[in-house]
Chains A and B, each alone.
Chain A
Amino acid sequence: MDFQSVVFYFFSAVMVLASLRVITARNPVHAALFLVLAFFSAGGIWMLLRAEFLAIALVMVYVGAVMVLFLFVVMMLDINLERIRQGFWSYLPIGAVVGLLMVAEMAIVVGGRYFGLEGMPTPAEPEPGYSNTKELGRLLYTEYVYPFELASIVLLVAMIAAVALTLRKRTGVKKIDPAAQVAVNRDDRVRIVSMRAEKE
């Protein structure tokens, strides 16, 4: 076994174990941390495939940003584990049957017979100076520009939806408008009244 295979099996084993722990961990914070580990291992495997950009993006975006946010949410929310686990045993038999059936079917199709190494052409050895990142960027902005722009609109809709669903304008709150405070004139605050001087 050469070095590459050793690294591949190591990362794969870590990823499978971590993924398993994500769904079996009792503590949601632990589950989130195991998910970080799984992402990290997946990044390693991508690196082995020479997809450096995707590997780094996965670590930066998912591990660095998404999972940290996730951890915050998990810590802030008081998740009642008892209620989540309610009905687990009553749903288990049917869930297990359906799940096992699907796994068996997938194993038949996705197994080595159709998608094995023999069925797939060997990728060409990249020429020197080949940059994975450059190729990705080129494709995204030329051939795939239409779906790329669509994806950006999907994100925009997600933003609009989040605003529409969470922004509440509460009435009757005594809040101060800083812009109005800054823009205030002397005339708004002081009224000079001219009146006759009076003697006692």
Chain B
Amino acid sequence: MNFVIPDFYPAAAELFVAAMSFVILLVGTFKQSARHFVYTLTQITLVGAAAITWQTMDGQVNFTFSNMYVDDLMGDVLKLMLYLSVAAVLVYSRGYMNDRKMETTEYYLLAIYATLGMMVMISANHFLTIYLGLELLSLALYAMVALERDSARATEAAMKYFVLGALASGLLLYGISMIYGATGTLEISNVAQAIYHQAGNRTVLMFGLVFVVAGLAFKLGVVPFHMWIPDVYQGAPAAITLFIASAPKLAAFAMAMRLLVNGLFELAEQWQSMLMFLAVLSIVLGNLAAIAQTNIKRMLGYSGISHMGFMLLGLMSGVVGGDRHFALNAYSSSMFYVIAYVLMSLASFGVILLMSRAGFEAEALDDFKGLNKRSSWFAGVMAMVMFSMAGIPFFIGFFAKFSVLQAVVAAGYIWLAILAVIMSLIGAFYYLRVVKIMYFDEPADNTPIGATLDMRVLLSLNGLAIAVLGLLPQSLMTWCAYSLLGSL
């Protein structure tokens, strides 16, 4: 048996992050007081990984590690976005975690390992690596939710997340085992080949597909697998909620692309109807339930459910009656949507973190009363985010919704597009309510908003990105379409 050393070059970013995580672990263990140093090292890791990914990005599809790892343009673009969002999360959350005595080495380590897990998921070409990446991400997230040990709410949220997450992993594994039983392989490109050549029994494949979609739906947090979202978003410390609500959505999108589009594309007709069911339910329930919320974290949780429903609208309109011409357009609109959502999610939770301080959580809607009088700039940023989430022109959220709806109409689901528009109109109510509270209500407390310079600058840039990309969405859209070209 001759063994060839795998080509490490395509996976250089993952290896770098893994190596740096061990350095951080050692530094954190032996220099207990070096919190700033650990923070800086973590950010250096992310910047370094971004540089490596940028360097190794060549637009070709490379396989390595016995075809378990794939390096393509979609993965590279998603990874760059992932580094950016994790770095932003760490900047936003630093003050918050420090105020609550939670800014420990473990926090940064868990964040780095979660990032590594997401990178593995994004670049997976094997069911086994998808699953391991997912577990790496989830395990780190469960622990992060429970980091605030003295809070009963956080512990409860972590328990719920853990139990439901384990169940979802079980569903996913069961589905994967069925697909393995039908096709005899776990490698995603081989699965696609096998199904194309009519191998395996359709009944078994369908059975596996249902479980895979269910597991995926849980990770995306779409109805009816959304039960964990409101409780976890509300119960977790705001900084961790920010983490959960941003980067993992990118990874979940990548997982959906790898599993459904790369692996089970032959079954597109079947999974599209399942996704349609999930999307309709999520958009309706997410928007209606968000209206009743008084806690802004919970409200953003429900809004996230509806946004993920919108994202699925793009994924479900790729193939129409066996015609695959729409696929590129539809999937790139989904990718644009998920990137736009991550940007908006970062900014909205960023403002929540900005307003929280030691011993005070800005999480009720009423805490935003009269924000304009306290800081008109950040009230403006929050207003922009809310307009963008509601889908008001000309912010990035509008173009995200627009392109997804375009794909839906092109696929011939006019009724679905109308329903989505009506639901986002209803949804505009609770977004605009936040704007109304910020601008037209009298402030309840007048504590000045204190935040470090880096956070102010980054949050401002984040808000500006939402506005500027809304005016000039073309370049990002082209990037999404171009990057998907090689992966379809």
Roughly how many angstroms separate A142 CA and B142 CA in the complex, as a whole number?
32
Q: Restricting to A143-196, which residues have a CB under 8 Å from any CB of B?
A: 143-147, 150-151, 153-154, 156-158, 160-161, 163-165, 168
Residues of A within 8 A of B409 (CB): none
Roughly how many angstroms separate A96 CA and B132 CA in the complex, as a whole number?
32
Does A115 have its Cβ within 8 Å of any Cβ on chain B? yes
Please state if A160 and B25 are interface contacts (CB–CB under 8 Å): yes
Please state if B116 and A153 are interface contacts (CB–CB under 8 Å): yes
**B113 in complex: contacting residue of A143, A147, A160, CB < 8 Å:** A160
Number of A-B contacts (CB under 8 A): 80
The residue on B at minimum CB distance from A105 is B207
| Given A153-B113, A153-B116, A164-B110, A147 and B129 contact (CB-CB distance below 8 Å) | yes
**A161 in complex: contacting residue of B25, B104, B140, CB < 8 Å:** B140
Known: A114-B203, A164-B106, A164-B143. 5 other contacts (CB 8 A): A105-B207, A146-B6, A147-B128, A157-B143, A160-B109
Please state if B113 and A146 are interface contacts (CB–CB under 8 Å): no
Please state if A150 and B6 are interface contacts (CB–CB under 8 Å): no
Residues of A within 8 A of B (CB): 105, 108-109, 114-115, 138, 142-147, 150-151, 153-154, 156-158, 160-161, 163-165, 168
Instruction: Give 11 CB contacts A-B under 8 Å.
Output: A109-B207, A114-B201, A114-B203, A144-B128, A146-B6, A146-B69, A150-B120, A154-B135, A160-B143, A161-B106, A163-B106
Closest 9 CB pairs of A and B: A161-B143, A164-B106, A146-B65, A150-B132, A109-B207, A143-B66, A142-B3, A147-B128, A157-B113
Please state if A146 and B129 are interface contacts (CB–CB under 8 Å): yes
Does B178 have its Cβ within 8 Å of any Cβ on chain A? yes
Q: Restricting to B56-85, which residues have a CB under 8 Å from any CB of A?
A: 65-66, 68-69
Please state if A145 and B18 are interface contacts (CB–CB under 8 Å): no
Roughly how many angstroms separate A146 CA and B116 CA in the complex, as a whole number?
13
Q: How far is the CB of B98 from chain A (nearest CB, A)?
A: 16
The residue on A at minimum CB distance from B140 is A157
Q: How far is the CB of B349 from chain A (nearest CB, A)?
A: 22
Interface residues on chain B, number (Cβ under 8 Å): 38
The residue on B at minimum CB distance from A108 is B203
Residue of A114, A144, A145, A150 ringed by the most chain B CB atoms within 10 A = A150
Please state if A144 and B104 are interface contacts (CB–CB under 8 Å): no
Does B443 have its Cβ within 8 Å of any Cβ on chain A? no
The residue on B at minimum CB distance from A146 is B65
Q: How far is the CB of B162 from chain A (nearest CB, A)?
A: 11
Does B435 have its Cβ within 8 Å of any Cβ on chain A? no
Please state if B203 and A161 are interface contacts (CB–CB under 8 Å): no
Residues of A within 8 A of B245 (CB): none
The residue on B at minimum CB distance from A169 is B32
Please state if B6 and A145 are interface contacts (CB–CB under 8 Å): yes
Please state if B146 and A147 are interface contacts (CB–CB under 8 Å): no
Q: How far is the CB of A50 from chain B (nearest CB, A)?
A: 20
Please state if B132 and A160 are interface contacts (CB–CB under 8 Å): no
The residue on B at minimum CB distance from A121 is B184
Please state if A144 and B66 are interface contacts (CB–CB under 8 Å): yes
Residues of B within 8 A of A161 (CB): 106, 110, 139-140, 142-143
The residue on B at minimum CB distance from A167 is B106
Please state if B142 and A147 are interface contacts (CB–CB under 8 Å): no
Roughly how many angstroms separate A144 CA and B69 CA in the complex, as a whole number?
11
Please state if A146 and B66 are interface contacts (CB–CB under 8 Å): yes
Please state if A114 and B129 are interface contacts (CB–CB under 8 Å): no
Q: How far is the CB of B386 from chain A (nearest CB, A)?
A: 35
Residues of A within 8 A of B126 (CB): 147
Residues of A within 8 A of B147 (CB): 164-165
Does B133 have its Cβ within 8 Å of any Cβ on chain A? yes
Does B380 have its Cβ within 8 Å of any Cβ on chain A? no
Q: Restricting to B102-119, which residues have a CB under 8 Å from any CB of A?
A: 104, 106-107, 109-110, 113, 116
Does B268 have its Cβ within 8 Å of any Cβ on chain A? no
| Given A150-B129, A150-B136, A160-B113, A165 and B207 contact (CB-CB distance below 8 Å) | no
Roughly how many angstroms separate A138 CA and B1 CA in the complex, as a whole number?
9
Roughly how many angstroms separate A144 CA and B186 CA in the complex, as a whole number?
12
Please state if A109 and B178 are interface contacts (CB–CB under 8 Å): yes
The residue on B at minimum CB distance from A135 is B1
Does B473 have its Cβ within 8 Å of any Cβ on chain A? no
Please state if A114 and B65 are interface contacts (CB–CB under 8 Å): no
The residue on B at minimum CB distance from A155 is B139
Does B12 have its Cβ within 8 Å of any Cβ on chain A? no
Roughly how many angstroms separate A151 CA and B131 CA in the complex, as a whole number?
10
**A147 in complex: contacting residue of B3, B132, B139, CB < 8 Å:** B132
Does B149 have its Cβ within 8 Å of any Cβ on chain A? yes
